[in-house]
Amino acid sequence: MHNFELIDLLCVIDACASDRFAGRLVPMSKAVEELRVLTGDFVSSDRDAANALTQVALERGCAVLFDEQPGADIVGEL
């Protein structure tokens, strides 16, 4: 598991959170992509990045939307 810098995680959550009727919502696919661009880390797994971002988002009072799953495109082909 990769240890991401807290400041990077906070910046990404604040940048990706959108205000909705029920509060702030963070789409995880966008957040993971933003974290990769910000840090230049294209090696860590999506799962590690999403786990780190989710923890910070929840601590900041955001709802998290898991809008992309690895391998989801394969399921449609079965």
Condensed to tens digits (0 to 9), the pLDDT of residues 46-63 reads 999 999 999 999 999 999
Q: What pLDDT was estimated at residue 22?
A: 64
Q: What pLDDT was estimated at residue 23?
A: 77
Q: What pLDDT was estimated at residue 3?
A: 86
Q: 38: which residues sit within 8 A by CB, 6+ positions away?
A: 8, 11, 12
**List of the chain residues with pLDDT < 70:** 1, 21-22, 69-78
Q: What pLDDT was estimated at residue 5?
A: 96
Report pTM: 0.81
Detail the DSSP E strand segments found in 5-73: 18-20, 23-27, 63-65
Q: What pLDDT was estimated at residue 19?
A: 81
Q: What pLDDT was estimated at residue 68?
A: 73
